[in-house]
Amino acid sequence: MRLPRLLAPRTIVSAHCDLPCGVYDPAQARIEAESVKAISEKYQANPDPEFRTRAILIKEQRAELVKHHLWVLWTDYFKPQHFEKYPQLHQLFNEATKLAGASGAKGSVDPAVADKLLAKIEEISKIFWETKQA
Amino acid sequence: MRLPRLLAPRTIVSAHCDLPCGVYDPAQARIEAESVKAISEKYQANPDPEFRTRAILIKEQRAELVKHHLWVLWTDYFKPQHFEKYPQLHQLFNEATKLAGASGAKGSVDPAVADKLLAKIEEISKIFWETKQA
Amino acid sequence: MRLPRLLAPRTIVSAHCDLPCGVYDPAQARIEAESVKAISEKYQANPDPEFRTRAILIKEQRAELVKHHLWVLWTDYFKPQHFEKYPQLHQLFNEATKLAGASGAKGSVDPAVADKLLAKIEEISKIFWETKQA
Amino acid sequence: MRLPRLLAPRTIVSAHCDLPCGVYDPAQARIEAESVKAISEKYQANPDPEFRTRAILIKEQRAELVKHHLWVLWTDYFKPQHFEKYPQLHQLFNEATKLAGASGAKGSVDPAVADKLLAKIEEISKIFWETKQA
Amino acid sequence: MRLPRLLAPRTIVSAHCDLPCGVYDPAQARIEAESVKAISEKYQANPDPEFRTRAILIKEQRAELVKHHLWVLWTDYFKPQHFEKYPQLHQLFNEATKLAGASGAKGSVDPAVADKLLAKIEEISKIFWETKQA
Amino acid sequence: MRLPRLLAPRTIVSAHCDLPCGVYDPAQARIEAESVKAISEKYQANPDPEFRTRAILIKEQRAELVKHHLWVLWTDYFKPQHFEKYPQLHQLFNEATKLAGASGAKGSVDPAVADKLLAKIEEISKIFWETKQA
């Protein structure tokens, strides 16, 4: 069961700009990955060649955004002390961005690939929120 | 007090692509508006001219993204029946996008302007989530 | 009464930037919509799969530009007094941008869909030029 | 002999995409150059440093679009027979795009520089319309 | 035989920004053209329709970058005295950018077309480096 | 002394697209970093406020490209076996991209900061070319 939206945390914001504004959130990567998954599902359900061409080109864009948002977190949000505390973090980001690329979500229209990507983003997200509460 | 992240709704995803993938969420506009606010605050606190030039150019980009995400919701997510049920919705979006533009967040470095923009996005967000639960 | 377009001053230029520079013109949206139509016609006339893939991806870009130029007019050019005088204007823009999106020109390779989009842009254009002469 | 512009067919639209869709018009470059001029005028009239920073960054974008639209005409619209008939055409485009760049409209906030750019675009435009009627 | 990388000239840098920073190099166009060629070869070797759709859309982007980098050299790097000394230079650039467009690398998946484009870029490159050493 | 260009390796090409085309080269990041350095030097030499605003905004773009090209190498070119052989590689990329960001080249107009960035890219480049010859 889903919590009513009004009870959802209001102060959570997401991360991105390199002033830096200090606003970061793995949700940005996750949202694009959800889109990749939804596109893959629609692709599987619709054999129309025009629709499929559009699906592939839009999926390419959303997957690129997944990579971008993850790269921003890895470079701009995470600091040396985080990488010391979470020694797996480099590899996690490397695997996640690879999963969004040609060997993953870009190169596949299988929703299961998008699921793997989402799981990897969730791992990153957990660490992210731990560091925010530290 | 903020709810622990792990209790936050997991299935909420955000909206954007025009396949359409069907994933929409006003959080995308809100996040960029939060960034606009944070940039304005940092601008006020830092008189360095190089920093201020960077702040203005980055704020311009984030405010443009606010407009874009709101336009996408207005055109792609909301359907005729929504506009019938919420007759104020057109004006709300028009005011919100104006508040993100030259007469609002783009043309100002006052965090209070960003707050007005955030309040307008919150109004849209409430209606959005009502329609999702309808 | 509106002057026929052919008598309109030659120095009229088109609209877009959010300084704002004050230069606006619905021709920008119309031009991209004409491109969408021409692409659709070429698509129908050419069964080559490589050509068709290129046509779909380029049409997607031009249709996105139609949406963008219309959104700019709706938010940046039109003021509250215009929406009072032309109460249909919000809906007109909403329909026009929907016609440029997935349920219209993006999702179709039928030139007739592009024609509908062009007709809607023409309606907006008439109102635009009336307000310029008011 | 070229028909006066005011008598030109209303359905002429503008040029850009590299399918190609076949739609070309120097108005696209001219519109952006008009914007550059309007921005320069507003810059001169407004000493506010925040406004001026925004003016410079937006002018940079519009001037880049002038260059892009001119380059597209030069490469995509004009054919070898045009360059034979108008041997000055290469130099005209080279000068026009230089006038939109660092040594011209990008590097200056003087409206007179934008006027020179507009005059050069007008020269190109005359040749363009002659070739369309040939 | 290929020279070891460590012996390659270190101080060669490439050209692009319109401050201008003064850094120019035809390698930027060449690299994108090499990518176009590699994509065409992979396209020929892989009949999978999803792969081919991705190949065409990515090739379109890289070919657009070839055009852009060449346009930048033509407008921003080369000066009137260069065009006097190399009177074929305008036509060379015009042919090269056409070869990157719809009538060349964009409109074809034949690696031989990419080879022609690369040869044209090499001609430009030779002249470029001659002018640098003059 | 610089080797004549004609002796420079011809077959070296650069890396980027995520088909993937297989073309990778750290030169792309280096070139943008050279531009960042040249812009910083020109900034120091020119107190004109309009020039300086342009310098900062263009430097921001070039530094973003440095980050992007490095991220592409880190995710798309380097494979698990490379990270095993060069265990410092993750940290090297993380430091290099941080040096291109707000705490480095974006946030500074000191050419010495650009030099540090260039040195870090050179470290990456050495490893890259070792893996290519392996």
CA atoms of C121 and C118, how far apart (whole Å): 5
User: Comparing C-alpha atoms, which of B114, B122, B102 is closest to residue B39?
Assistant: B114
What are the φ/ψ torsions at residue E46 (nearest 5 degrees)? -135, 105
Whether C69 is covered by a domain: the verdict is yes
Whether D110 is covered by a domain: the verdict is yes
Torsion angle in degrees (nearest 10) through CA of C4, C10, C15, C18: -140
Q: How far is B30 from chain F (nearest CA, A)?
A: 23
Indicate whether D1 pLDDT > 60. no
Among F75, F88, F99, F124, the residue to mutate for chain A (most A Cβ within 10 A): F75
Answer whether B45 touches A (CB < 8 Å): no
Cβ distance B21 to A39 less than 8 Å, yes or no, reads yes
Asked if the bond preceding D20 is cis, omega within 30° of 0, the reply is: yes
SS3 state of residue E107: coil
Cβ distance A102 to F76 less than 8 Å, yes or no, reads yes
Answer whether F131 touches E (CB < 8 Å): no
Whether the model clears a pTM of 0.90, i.e. scores above it, the answer is: no
Q: Which range, D12-21, F8-17, F24-33, is most confident?
A: F24-33
> ∠ CA D22-D25-D31 to the nearest 5 degrees?
145
Retrieve residue B56's tokens.
Answer: 């203005």
CA atoms of C37 and C30, how far apart (whole Å): 10
Whether A7 is covered by a domain: the verdict is no
Structural domain total, chain D: 1
Q: How far is F3 from chain E (nearest CA, A)?
A: 6
Average pLDDT over all residues of chain B? 88
Q: Given this model, what pLDDT does residue C129 score?
A: 96
- pLDDT tens column, F42-99: 999 999 999 999 999 999 999 999 999 999 999 999 999 999 999 999 999 999 999 9
Q: Given this model, what pLDDT does residue D13 score?
A: 32
Cβ distance D94 to E83 less than 8 Å, yes or no, reads yes
Retrieve residue C4's tokens.
Answer: 């026929």
Asked if F38 and F62 touch (Cβ cutoff 8 Å), the reply is: no
CA atoms of A124 and D124, how far apart (whole Å): 55
> A and D: touch, per 3+ CB pairs < 8 A?
no
Which among B60, B107, B109 has the least Cβ separation from residue D57? B60
Mean pLDDT to the nearest integer, C119-133: 97
SS3 state of residue B26: coil
Q: Given this model, what pLDDT does residue C132 score?
A: 92
Indicate the burial class of C56 (C-beta count within 10 angstroms; 0-12, 13-18, 19 or more).
Answer: buried
For residues F71-96, one letter each, b for 16 or more C-beta atoms within 10 angstroms of the residue's C-beta and e for the rest, the string is bbbbbbbbeeeebeebeebbebbbbb
Q: Given this model, what pLDDT does residue A16 score?
A: 62
Answer whether B48 touches F (CB < 8 Å): no
Residues of E in contact with C50 (CB under 8 A): 52, 56, 109
Percent of chain D with pLDDT over 70: 88
Other beta carbons less than 10 A from residue B47's beta carbon: 8
Q: Given this model, what pLDDT does residue E25 score?
A: 84
Among E53, E58, E60, E61, the residue to mutate for chain A (most A Cβ within 10 A): E53
Retrieve residue A47's tokens.
Answer: 């054999």
- pLDDT tens column, A23-47: 898 988 998 999 999 999 999 999 9
CA atoms of B131 and B116, how far apart (whole Å): 23
- pLDDT tens column, D101-132: 999 999 999 999 999 999 999 999 999 999 99
Longest dimension (CA), chain C: 51
Q: Given this model, what pLDDT does residue A25 score?
A: 84
Whether C15 is covered by a domain: the verdict is no
- pLDDT tens column, E66-107: 999 999 999 999 999 999 999 999 999 999 999 999 999 999
User: Comparing C-alpha atoms, which of B121, B27, E57 is closest to residue A30?
Assistant: B27
Indicate whether A12 pLDDT > 50. no
Indicate whether E11 pLDDT > 60. no
Whether E108 is covered by a domain: the verdict is yes
Whether A20 is covered by a domain: the verdict is no
Indicate whether D4 pLDDT > 80. no
Residues of A in contact with F20 (CB under 8 A): 101-102
- pLDDT tens column, C15-72: 468 899 888 989 889 989 999 999 999 999 999 999 999 999 999 999 999 999 999 9
* ipTM field: 0.87
Whether A11 is covered by a domain: the verdict is no
Distant-in-sequence contacts of A122-126, Cβ < 8 A, 24+ apart: A122/A30, A123/A92, A123/A96, A124/A26, A124/A29, A124/A70, A124/A73, A124/A89, A124/A92, A124/A93, A124/A96, A125/A26, A125/A27, A125/A30
DSSP F77-108: I--HHHHHH-TTHHHHHHHHHHHHSTTTTSS-
Asked if E57 and F21 touch (Cβ cutoff 8 Å), the reply is: no
Q: Scanning every residue of chain F, which has its alpha carbon at the shortest distance from the alpha carbon of E8?
A: F8
Cβ distance E57 to A56 less than 8 Å, yes or no, reads yes
Whether C56 is covered by a domain: the verdict is yes
- How many residues belong to chain D? 134
CA atoms of A30 and C5, how far apart (whole Å): 49
CA atoms of F35 and E14, how far apart (whole Å): 8
Retrieve residue F123's tokens.
Answer: 């470290």
Cβ distance E17 to F35 less than 8 Å, yes or no, reads yes
Secondary structure tally for chain F: helices H, strands E: 5, 0
Answer whether A54 touches E (CB < 8 Å): no
Answer whether D134 touches B (CB < 8 Å): no
Among D35, D50, D59, the residue to mutate for chain B (most B Cβ within 10 A): D50
**pLDDT confidence band for D16 (50 / 70 / 90):** low
Which among D16, D34, D61 has the least Cβ separation from residue C13? D34
Asked if D121 and D70 touch (Cβ cutoff 8 Å), the reply is: yes
For residues C96-131, one letter each, b for 16 or more C-beta atoms within 10 angstroms of the residue's C-beta and e for the rest, the string is bbbbbbbebbbbbbbbebbebbbebbebbbebbbeb
Q: Given this model, what pLDDT does residue B15 score?
A: 42
Of the candidate ranges A36-45, B5-14, D22-31, F19-28, the one whose mean pLDDT is the lowest: B5-14
Q: The domain spanning residue D127 has which CATH number?
A: 1.20.120.400
The residue among E112 and B3 whose pLDDT is bigger is E112
Answer whether C81 touches B (CB < 8 Å): no
Among C39, C54, C62, the residue to mutate for chain E (most E Cβ within 10 A): C54
- pLDDT tens column, B48-97: 999 999 999 999 999 999 999 999 999 999 999 999 999 999 999 999 99
Supply the range of the domain harboring residue F94: 25-133
Indicate whether B103 pLDDT > 80. yes
